[in-house]
């Protein structure tokens, strides 16, 4: 069950826990992981929710516009009420996957955003009213614990003193996705990309943080984002590799046909320390 | 085809609001037709000064990278511009980057533009509604009205006009030229007219009126004709104050 969020002030770097009976994520997509993107969201929040157990849906689908990724079409899996797989955590807008499949018509995107928000807000209120324990029922020890986890991670980032430049890694990741996970994809190149992402993840921990300041440190924020972007890139490529068909605007040159018998389904991914767990059982109805 | 070249860059840096600023020089290799923002991003790949000393990446605000959000306004060679639309090839070297002078510096090129938003709060830029009920569809606007509001609503709160205005500085009560665009828009909205007199009264307070535009409209990245808007509002305030004098 979701009991609130931990947020960090980007100027004084203070960490703060916001206990809550329900949380609605409206944090946008993750198209920024590509090298040439038109959006500006890095997807830290969705990736964090995914790492903490929320199911991700359709990570492989990205809307392209003249080779620039416009929006990520996938996001956190949500039900009809816009609740994610974690009770009490809701998602709407670019960070939720509900209305778009493998491509989206431009006017449908704001429509989905507006409807999603309307739906998620009402559902969150309903969820809170239906609960027995209310009024931020998060114990003080849990609050402390949540804060400590983030502090620990922050210290880890500050202690990173490797030789690699993290911005170079980000550039490599972006170019990698741009070439291998663009409009046209292919098994062999996706496999190569997946391997590269795994090595990028290792190299990330051999990189060094470029700024140790405790005030307005954009590098710390960048390190946080990059660590999560690598996770998202991983499931994006892994899912693209699994989906052996061409659908919407996504072309698999080795599987040029659309295959409704096997692949008319959602790609659901859940985090596991070993490797992501895929589930293709949720079919898309014809209605 | 032109190839990569080395660009000489000078940045005014400041650790925190309380620190003194100092200059740092860089030599950055860039391909042709790059923007100043791309130059700054490239600097992160190799944060080393012209003297060969490692340093921290330059802190600057950026979001959309495509001239829609207004976050990256800064002084480029002494002129206020958006880093995301200024091409490196089109400006003189050394390229000198400084934070906006009209606002407190947060760090390096990042400034605190809260004052711009605070100024808007006093201007009643909203429509009062009493309770929630289905009031049917809203009033219709003529195409001319629509164009007028659309033009004024392009303001991104980048702060370029404040920077260009000699009237806007730390010791001046002036609310800022951007406020005029927002007030002018609300005053002509079919629903906004209701509070028009309240807005004009607010503008009559110290710091409410702009003396002249002094190039504010020239620097506006969104091409809002602030000179015309300000002149129009000043007339309205004058007429309103005369009316108020005679009729109370």
Q: Mark out chain A residues that contact chain B at CB-CB < 8 A.
A: 11, 38, 40, 165, 167-168, 171, 210-211, 213, 215-216, 218-219
> What per-residue confidence (pLDDT) applies to A135?
59
* pLDDT tens-digit series, residues A211-264: 999 999 999 999 999 999 999 999 999 999 999 999 988 999 999 999 999 999
Angle between helices A166-180 and B36-45 (to 10 degrees): 110
* Domains of chain B as residue ranges with CATH: 5-111 (3.10.20.30), 114-247 (1.10.1060.10)
Contact of B125 with B178, CB cutoff 8 Å = no
CA atoms of A109 and B180, how far apart (whole Å): 33
Record: contact A210-B106, CB cut-off 8 A: no
Could you give the dihedral angle defined by the CA atoms of residues A96, B71, A16 and A79, in that order, rounded to the nearest 10 degrees? -10
- State the CB neighbour count (10 A cutoff) for residue A66: 7
For residue A186, give the nearest of A243, A263, A264 by alpha carbon.
A243
Q: Return the H-helix or E-strand segment holding A91.
A: strand A89-91
- Considering only CB atoms, which chain A residues are within 8 Å of B106? 11, 216
- Residue A109 tokens read as 């995107």
- With 0-12 / 13-18 / 19 or more C-beta atoms within 10 angstroms meaning exposed / middle / buried, residue A243 is buried
What residue in A sits closest to B64 (Cα-Cα)? A40
Contact A40 B65 (CB under 8 A): yes
Which of chain A's residues have a Cβ under 8 Å away from the Cβ of B57? 167, 210-211, 218-219
Q: How confident is the model at residue A194 (pLDDT cuts 50, 70, 90)?
A: very high
Reported as a pLDDT band with limits 50, 70 and 90, residue B190 is confident
Q: Residue B59: which of A38, A165, A218 has the nearest Cβ?
A: A218
Confidence band for A137, pLDDT divided at 50, 70 and 90: low
* Minimal CA separation from B231 to chain A, in Å: 37
Provide mean pLDDT across the span B147-168: 93
CA distances from B82 to A137, A197, A216 (A): 46, 34, 21
Testing the interface with A: which of B38, B57, B62 to mutate, by most A Cβ within 10 A? B57
Nearest to A69 by CA among A37, A29, A32: A37
What span, in angstroms and rounded, lies between the C-alpha atoms of A70 and A281?
A: 28
Query: 3-state class of B223 per DSSP?
Result: coil
The predicted structure's pLDDT at residue A196: 97
Q: Do A210 and B57 touch (CB under 8 A)?
A: yes
Tens digit of each residue's pLDDT (9 = 90 or more) over B63-105: 888 888 999 999 999 999 999 999 999 999 999 999 999 999 9
Mean pLDDT within B125-145: 82
Q: Search chain A and give the residue with CA nearest B56.
A: A211
Average pLDDT for residues A190-203, to the nearest whole number?
96
Asked whether the beta carbons of residue B57 and residue A168 sit closer than 8 angstroms, the reply is no
Mean pLDDT value of segment A136-164: 90
Of B45, B57, B59, the CB nearest to A168: B45
Is the pLDDT score of A28 beyond 80? yes
Sign of CA dihedral B44, A46, A50, A216: positive
pLDDT, averaged across chain A = 92
**Closest-approach residue (CA) in chain A for B58:** A218
Check: CB of residue A252 under 8 Å from CB of residue A193: no
| B101–A contact, CB cutoff 8 A | no
Give A24's strand partners.
A90
| Portion 56-95 of B in contact with A at CB < 8 A | 56-57, 59, 63-66
Q: Which residues of A touch B46 (CB under 8 A)?
A: 165
Give CA–CA dist A222/B144, Å, rounded: 45
pLDDT at A131 (0 to 100) = 83
Does the predicted interface ipTM exceed a cut of 0.95? no
pLDDT confidence of residue A270: 97
> Of A13, A165, A171, A215, which to mutate for an interface test with B (greatest number of B Cβ within 10 Å)?
A215
Q: What's the predicted TM-score (pTM) here?
A: 0.92
Least confident interval from A112-121, B36-45, B67-76, B200-209: B200-209
Mutant choice from B19, B28, B56, B111 vs A, greatest count of A C-beta within 10 A: B56
Cβ-based contacts of B65 with chain A (< 8 Å): 40
Mean pLDDT score, A21-49: 88
Given an 8 Å threshold on Cβ–Cβ distance, is A171 in contact with B45? yes
Any idea what the Cα angle at residue A174 is, between residues A166 and A206, rounded to 5°? Answer: 25
- Residue A132: predicted pLDDT: 77
**Would you place residue A38 in the very low, low, confident or very high pLDDT band (cuts 50, 70, 90)?**
low
**B45 part of contact set with chain A, CB < 8 Å:** yes
Bridge partners, residue A91, by sequence: A25
Give the lowest-confidence range in A77-86, A129-138, B109-118, B130-139: A129-138
| Each residue's pLDDT tens digit, A71-125 | 899 999 999 999 999 999 999 999 999 999 898 888 899 999 999 999 999 999 9
Selection from A123, A114, A161 nearest residue A22 by Cα: A123
Average pLDDT, chain B: 91
Size of interface A-B (CB pairs under 8 A): 35
Collect all residues of chain B within an 8 Å Cβ-Cβ radius of residue A215: 15-16, 107
How distant is the Cα of A145 from the closest Cα of chain B, in angstroms? 31
Q: Phi-psi category of B224—alpha, beta or left, where left has phi over 0 and alpha has psi -120 to 50? A: beta
Residue B1 predicted with pLDDT over 60: no
């Amino acid at each position: 069950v979701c009991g609130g969020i931990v947020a960090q002030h980007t100027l004084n770097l203070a960490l703060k826990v916001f206990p809550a009976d329900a949380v609605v994520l409206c944090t946008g997509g993750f198209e920024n992981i590509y090298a040439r993107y038109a959006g500006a969201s890095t997807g830290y929040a969705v990736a964090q929710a995914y790492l903490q157990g929320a199911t991700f849906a359709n990570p492989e689908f990205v809307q392209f516009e003249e080779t620039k990724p416009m929006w990520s079409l996938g996001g956190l899996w949500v039900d009809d009420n816009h609740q994610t797989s974690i009770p009490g955590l809701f998602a709407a807008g670019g960070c939720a996957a509900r209305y778009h499949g493998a491509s989206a018509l431009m006017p449908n995107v704001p429509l989905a955003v507006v409807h999603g928000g309307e739906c998620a807000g009402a559902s969150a209120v309903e969820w809170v009213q239906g609960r027995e324990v209310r009024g931020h029922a998060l114990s003080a020890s849990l609050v402390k614990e949540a804060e400590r986890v983030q502090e620990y991670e922050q210290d880890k980032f500050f202690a990173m003193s490797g030789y690699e430049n993290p911005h170079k890694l980000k550039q490599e990741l972006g170019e990698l996705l741009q070439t291998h996970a663009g409009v046209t994809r292919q098994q062999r190149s996706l496999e190569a990309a997946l391997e590269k992402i795994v090595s990028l993840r290792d190299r990330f921990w051999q990189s060094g943080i470029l700024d140790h300041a405790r005030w307005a440190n954009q590098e710390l924020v960048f390190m946080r984002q990059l660590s999560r972007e690598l996770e998202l890139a991983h499931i994006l490529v892994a899912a693209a590799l699994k989906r052996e068909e061409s659908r919407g605007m996504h072309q698999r040159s080795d599987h040029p046909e659309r295959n409704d018998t096997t692949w008319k389904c959602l790609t659901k991914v859940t985090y596991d320390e070993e490797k992501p767990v895929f589930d293709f059982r949720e079919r898309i109805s014809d209605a | 085809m032109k190839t990569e070249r080395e660009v000489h860059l000078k940045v005014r840096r400041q650790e925190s609001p309380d620190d003194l600023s100092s200059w740092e020089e860089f030599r950055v290799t860039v391909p042709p037709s790059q923007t100043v923002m791309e130059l700054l991003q490239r600097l992160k790949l190799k944060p080393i000064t012209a003297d060969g000393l490692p340093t921290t990446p330059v802190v600057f605000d950026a979001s959309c990278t495509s001239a829609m959000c207004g976050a990256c306004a800064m002084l480029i060679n002494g002129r206020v511009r958006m880093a995301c639309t200024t091409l490196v090839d089109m400006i003189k070297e050394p390229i000198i980057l400084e934070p906006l002078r009209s606002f407190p510096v947060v760090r390096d090129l990042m400034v605190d533009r809260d004052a711009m938003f605070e100024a808007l709060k006093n201007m009643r830029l909203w429509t009062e509604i009493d309770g929630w009920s289905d009031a049917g569809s809203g009033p219709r606007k003529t195409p001319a009205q629509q164009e007028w509001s659309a033009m004024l609503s392009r303001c991104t709160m980048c702060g370029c006009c404040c920077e260009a205005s000699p009237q806007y500085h730390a010791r001046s009560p002036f609310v800022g030229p951007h406020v005029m665009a927002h007030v002018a828009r609300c005053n002509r909205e079919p629903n906004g007219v209701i509070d028009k007199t309240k807005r004009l009264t607010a503008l009559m307070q110290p710091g409410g009126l702009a003396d002249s535009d002094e190039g504010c409209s020239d620097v506006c990245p969104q091409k809002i004709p602030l000179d015309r808007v300000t002149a129009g509002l000043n007339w309205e305030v004058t007429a309103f104050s005369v009316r108020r004098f005679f009729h109370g």
